[in-house]
Amino acid sequence: MLVDFSHVPPPLTVALVRLAPLLAVARSALEICSWRTSWYSAWLALAAWWALCLSADSVLRYLLPVLLLAVLCVPPRPRRPPSTEQSLHNTLADLGAIHALLPPRPSVSPSRTALRVVAIVYAPYLLLTYFVPLRILLALAGTVVLTARAPFTCLIFRTLQRSAWLRWSYRYAFSILTARPLPPLVLSHQPTPTTPTPVPALRFLFTVYENQRWWMGLDWTAALLPAERPSWCAPPPSHAPVNPPNAFTLPKPTTVFLAADGPKPARVKRTATWTWEEPEWKVVTRREGGPITRVDRPVPDETATDAAPPSTTGSRLLGKMRDSGIIAGAAPSVAAAAEGHDDPEEDHIPTDPDGWVYADNKWEAPSTKGGMGKYTRYRRWTRVAVVSETVEVVEDGPVGIERTEPLPQPVSDPDSVPLPYTASTAVPASVTNEANFNPAASSTPIASQPKIPPPTPGVDVHALDITSSPEEESPLRQRLRRALTKSANHGALH
């Protein structure tokens, strides 16, 4: 609706001013026909219509000259006062009310269907006009139009709609007029076949933290202290251990059977399937004073370090440290990972071009550069996945959750630990572009959809004890254990 009339074109303003009385009359007429005003006005309008239809012949024959003379003899009205901004507002309000009160425009039917309807109805129409006067038919048609929106008409229509016989009669007559066949009948004991209906997919952001510590002579490695966070973990505050990106897999498809409401016993089958929306994992980076971006970086391949030859650098010694049990390896726990959420404060911490955030020995005082006093660092790996769900009605049966594979069973032999279930650090997000990406964003669950059950957690694979027998220790592990023991004894003395 227009508010500032200083920007309205002058021709439009002149048209609104001149049409204001007619628009006011049209609005009053539509309100009376829609029963929005007093019922007395609507009943009077209906009575006037019947009087016009029944006495139109006599009125036009005897009173038409008198009516024309009365119109010509009416004195002209005094000049209307000048229009103001309030009168223009009232005119626009009348236009809005007229648009709201007008009935919806019916969809245009095909020409062949319209011709068929006219051909079938034309003969009964001529027969009806032969027995019933035309003025009575016009009065009845006007009555239907004037009372179509009356409250009692709506109540009668809703009551008649509950009758299955009337609904079937209407559909049968409509199929004859339009030549559209009715759907085949289905017996009550036969299940109605349904096709799977897709549900709008949800997008999830998976976040995995990569943590490293600096060791003298080893450089930055994934060898962390036993009491601190693991090398790959979920977002804070849980810091639950999860699989690295190269071993991170999505949950298996899950099917849920729910009881369906209806006269016939049936079930609703909802199948949730996870797929990756992005081809690779990306690192979250942020420049000082800039927005958050996600860049492509090579995912660390821990299997390649196992076969690497010994070297003085930490990247070459990573494989031996893992074999020695220094690097804590643990399978992900879905329950613990679900508690982790991206900290909004992490979004404001700047990183280096590779996404690393350097911190002190207690993972505090973050900085974009390493150096004196910086012994730890971490970065965030993210990847967007989509869970799509299909819903279909199936025959009656047991309700519950159905998984594609059996639950993992505990094993006694540590060497025969099966591949654990993957962890999900799923943080719902609405990721639109990399420039305005917010890893901490979350999505609102849809009320009409049931909660998708999480996958069953796998078997945790705990790290080997660092104080095992010296016969099984490698020289590198013995050296590191002696350094840690010496540091602990030195701290106890002081």
Task: Based on the fold, state whether residues 365 and 264 are members of the same structural domain.
Answer: yes
Residue 172 within a domain: no
The gap between the terminal CA atoms of the chain, to the nearest Å, is: 79
pLDDT score of 200 more than 60: yes
Nearest to 17 by CA among 89, 100, 99: 89
Q: Residues 136, 216: one domain?
A: no
Which one has a higher pLDDT value, 4 or 323? 4
Say whether both 138 and 203 belong to one domain. no
For residue 423, is it within any domain? Answer: yes
pLDDT exceeds 70 at position 428: no
* Residue 177, in any domain of the structure: no
Shared-domain flag, residues 241 and 326: yes
Query: Are residue 423 and residue 359 in the same domain, yes or no?
Result: yes
Shared-domain flag, residues 145 and 206:
no
Whether 469 is in a domain gets the answer no
Q: Are residues 255 and 127 in the same domain?
A: no
Are 141 and 205 contained in the same domain? no
Same domain, residue pair 236 and 108: no
Domain membership of residue 311 (yes or no) is yes
Judge if 212 and 302 occupy the same domain. Answer: yes
Q: Classify residue 458: in a domain, yes or no.
A: yes
Residues 337, 240, single domain; the answer is yes
Q: Do 101 and 219 fall within a single domain?
A: no
Q: What pLDDT does 186 receive?
A: 54
The tens digit of pLDDT for each residue in 55-91 reads 888 888 888 888 888 878 877 766 666 667 777 778 8
CB within 8 Å of 76: residues ≥ 6 apart: none
- Range of 86's domain? 5-149
Determine, yes or no, domain membership for 154. no
Query: What does the pLDDT look like over 93-140, one tens digit per residue?
Result: 888 888 888 877 666 556 777 788 888 888 888 998 889 888 898 999
Whether the Cβ atoms of residue 302 and residue 294 lie closer than 8 Å to each other? no
Residue 173 domain flag = no
pLDDT per residue over 150-191, tens digit each? 888 889 988 888 888 888 888 888 888 877 777 766 554 444
Domain total in the chain = 2
